[in-house]
């Protein structure tokens, strides 16, 4: 379609309006030169662009410097050019039959747009560079984080190894202290002064054992290494044990102590009896320790699979400002209180949480405190199964020891002599092995009725020794007697073929009861 036909379609008024807009916004300057590049005519405001006054016959390159070198035959389009006064313009050069036409248009808006685009481009480049630097920093940070993580994992492994090692190192001598103390107490029944001294030794050793247990449990809880061992538990027997432990301690301080129960089922319930017992011992032990007059009462209520526990005392109370602090590790209400590491409540709270409950404190702040928690304890199915390492404290097993041989694999001479005294006094014949290799050889040769196997043995460790024995057809019960208290180690020992798992220091009556029951089961 031709320009003329286009012109005819636009109304005159609209066309004039378009002309005005074009002129106002672009400030057109039209120049026409002849073939010799002499100015013939012009139209527009040359002053707007800072040109010198124009006259017919002026040379193109003397008035318009950007036309220097341009001939009448050249066709050019220069997008952005600066005029003498710095105004950005676009230049359109078009040859005609009689000469050259030059159209100059204001390009300020286009220049601003291109400047903005360039600015954005520059900003994008800067941002890209910053992003690259940040990515390099992030990569360096990630490398550092990975290094720190590896260091932390290595430190945790070392801590776990240290905890395991310390567990063994602490428990082994305490086994001797508590075991020989118990023997002496049984021997010196009529020597009151000697019994009092032995009682002090026993209480001190048990207190030390409690502190060690809390420290080791704190480390295991930090590592997430404690796993609940849920098994059928006789609540009545467990609470009877607690009553026997704390009644003499309370009476010695002139306190009234009671365990009040309601709704307890005759059947066994499913829970981790060792951890449940540990929490109650921590709570009742604190209550007795910090109560000088009055009473301590533990209330245990079972209802439809829920076990609610409360321990209340008439002690000094816990100020509101200290109620959160008492659940933090190594914290006490005040530094003048009795001895302790400040771990009992922190560990109890963590254990209760793992068991699905929440340990809560109620206290007026002036007198008395009450700690409570509720956990699941459903009735255990009556399937006749027994966990080989279930609790047997208080169980009386009647079985004759005469004629039965027990092989003791123990490298510690003090503990070996202690076990020898206890077992031979009970009527057993004892055979001793000082390392794992000797234990395997003597077991296959002597064919004992039962083995007591220390797990941390030289030459061949206990687990490997048990595996070798079971592979060789040895069928007598093997009871692990070890200072390693971790659940993972216990599972490994049972999986290797141990019939039971006792942790040092073990109560001597429990040791004898466990041995007698194991032999009776094989009869």
How far is it, in rounded angstroms, from Cα 129 to Cα 239?
71
DSSP string covering 53-64, please? PP-TT-BHHHH-
Which pLDDT score is estimated for 375?
94
Q: Half-sphere exposure of 477 toward its Cβ, with a 13 Å CA cutoff?
A: 24
Tally of CB atoms within 10 A around 301: 15
Q: Environment class of residue 408 by beta-carbon count within 10 Å: exposed (0-12), middle (13-18) or buried (19+)?
A: buried
Each residue's pLDDT, cut to its tens digit, for the chain (523 residues) gives 445 555 557 777 777 777 787 777 778 888 888 888 888 888 888 788 778 888 888 887 777 777 777 887 888 888 877 788 878 888 888 888 888 888 888 877 777 777 778 788 888 888 888 888 888 888 888 898 888 888 887 776 766 666 656 655 666 667 767 776 777 767 766 676 666 666 666 655 665 666 666 666 655 565 555 667 788 889 998 898 788 778 888 898 999 999 999 999 989 999 988 789 888 988 998 889 889 999 999 999 999 999 999 999 998 877 766 656 566 644 455 544 444 445 678 888 888 998 899 988 876 656 788 899 999 999 988 755 444 444 444 333 334 556 799 999 998 888 888 888 888 888 899 999 999 999 999 999 999 999 999 988 899 999 999 999 999 999 999 999 887 767 778 889 999 999 999 888 777 888 888 899 898 888 6
CA quadruple 62, 66, 71, 76: dihedral, nearest 10: -160
Question: For residue 364, how far is the Cα from the chain centroid?
Answer: 34
Which pLDDT score is estimated for 494?
93
- Tell the CATH topology of 227-376: Heat Shock Protein 90 (3.30.565)
Structure tokens, 38: 């002499």
How far is it, in rounded angstroms, from Cα 111 to Cα 87?
10
Q: Please give the CATH number for the structural domain made up of 3-106.
A: 3.30.450
Nearest residue to 314 (alpha-carbon basis) of 295, 297, 328, 298: 295
Which pLDDT score is estimated for 498?
94
How far is it, in rounded angstroms, from Cα 329 to Cα 332?
9
Structure tokens, 520: 């009776």
Structure tokens, 437: 């290799």
Give the length of the chain: 523
- E-strand ranges in 7-125 read 29-34, 39-44, 76-82, 88-95, 99-106
How far is it, in rounded angstroms, from Cα 120 to Cα 317?
69
DSSP string covering 205-242, please? HHHHHHHHHHHHHHHHHHTT------EEE-HHHHHHHH
Nearest residue to 233 (alpha-carbon basis) of 206, 203, 194, 272: 272
Degrees, nearest 5: CA angle 360-362-363: 145
Q: How far is CA 386 from CA 32, 160, 198, 500, in A?
A: 114, 30, 37, 11
Q: Environment class of residue 485 by beta-carbon count within 10 Å: exposed (0-12), middle (13-18) or buried (19+)?
A: buried
How far is it, in rounded angstroms, from Cα 403 to Cα 89?
119
Task: Give the β-pairing of 429-433 and 295-303.
Answer: unpaired
Alpha helices in 270-354 (DSSP H): 273-290, 344-354
Give the homologous superfamily in CATH for domain 405-522.
Answer: Response regulator (3.40.50.2300)
**CB under 8 Å to 498, separation ≥6 — which residues?**
388, 453, 466, 478, 479, 480
How far is it, in rounded angstroms, from Cα 185 to Cα 359?
38
Sign of the CA dihedral with 152 first, then 158, 160, and 163 last: negative
CA quadruple 59, 62, 63, 65: dihedral, nearest 10: 120
35 secondary structure, DSSP code:
T
Tally of CB atoms within 10 A around 307: 22
Q: What pTM, to 2 d.p., does this model score?
A: 0.48
Q: How far is CA 98 from CA 33, 66, 92, in A?
A: 8, 21, 17
What residues does each domain of the chain span? 3-106, 131-220, 227-376, 405-522
How far is it, in rounded angstroms, from Cα 408 to Cα 23?
113
Which pLDDT score is estimated for 257?
94
506 secondary structure, DSSP code:
-
């Amino acid at each position: 379609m031709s320009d003329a036909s286009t012109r005819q379609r636009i109304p005159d008024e609209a066309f004039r309006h378009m002309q005005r807009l074009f002129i106002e916004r672009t400030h057109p300057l039209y120049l026409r030169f002849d073939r010799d590049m002499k100015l013939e005519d012009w139209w527009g405001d040359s002053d707007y662009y800072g040109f010198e006054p124009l006259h017919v016959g002026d040379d193109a390159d003397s008035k318009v410097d950007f036309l220097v070198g341009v001939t009448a035959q050249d066709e050019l389009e220069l997008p952005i050019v600066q005029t003498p006064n710095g105004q950005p313009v676009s230049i359109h050069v078009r040859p005609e039959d009689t000469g050259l036409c030059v159209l100059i248009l204001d390009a300020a808006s286009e220049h601003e747009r291109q400047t903005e685009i360039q600015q954005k481009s520059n900003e994008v480049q800067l941002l890209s560079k910053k992003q690259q630097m940040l990515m390099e920093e992030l990569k360096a940070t990630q490398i550092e984080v990975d290094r720190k993580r590896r260091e932390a994992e290595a430190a945790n492994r070392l801590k776990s190894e240290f905890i395991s090692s310390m567990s063994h190192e602490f428990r082994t001598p305490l086994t001797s202290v508590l075991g020989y103390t118990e023997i002496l107490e049984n021997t010196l029944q009529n020597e009151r002064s000697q019994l009092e001294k032995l009682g002090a030794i026993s209480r001190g050793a048990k207190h030390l054992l409690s502190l060690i247990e809390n420290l080791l449990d704190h480390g295991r809880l930090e590592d997430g290494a404690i796993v609940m061992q849920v098994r059928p538990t006789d609540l009545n027997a467990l609470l009877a044990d607690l009553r026997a432990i704390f009644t003499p301690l309370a009476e010695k301080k002139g306190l009234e102590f009671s365990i009040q129960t309601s709704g307890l089922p005759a059947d066994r319930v499913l829970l981790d009896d060792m951890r449940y017992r540990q929490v109650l011992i921590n709570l009742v032990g604190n209550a007795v320790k910090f109560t000088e007059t009055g009473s301590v009462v533990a209330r245990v209520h079972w209802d439809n699979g829920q076990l609610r526990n409360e321990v209340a005392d008439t002690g000094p109370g816990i100020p509101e400002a200290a109620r959160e602090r008492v659940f933090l590790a190594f914290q006490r209400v005040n530094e003048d209180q009795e001895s302790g590491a400040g771990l009992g409540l922190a560990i109890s709270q963590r254990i209760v949480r793992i068991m699905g409950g929440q340990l809560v404190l109620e206290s007026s702040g002036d007198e008395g405190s009450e700690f409570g928690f509720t956990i699941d304890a459903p009735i255990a199915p009556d399937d006749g199964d027994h966990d080989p390492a279930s609790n047997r404290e208080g169980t009386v097993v009647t079985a004759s020891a005469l004629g039965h041989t027990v092989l003791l694999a123990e490298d510690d001479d003090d503990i070996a002599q202690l076990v020898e005294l206890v077992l031979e006094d009970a009527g057993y014949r004892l055979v001793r092995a000082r390392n794992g290799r000797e234990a395997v050889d003597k077991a296959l040769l002597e064919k004992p009725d039962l083995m007591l196997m220390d797990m941390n043995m030289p030459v061949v460790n206990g687990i490997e020794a048990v595996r070798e024995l079971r592979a060789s057809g040895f069928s007598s019960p093997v009871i692990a007697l070890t200072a390693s208290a971790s659940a993972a180690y216990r599972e490994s020992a049972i999986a290797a073929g141990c019939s039971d798992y006792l942790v040092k220091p073990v109560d001597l009556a429990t040791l004898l009861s466990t041995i007698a029951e194991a032999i009776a089961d094989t009869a």
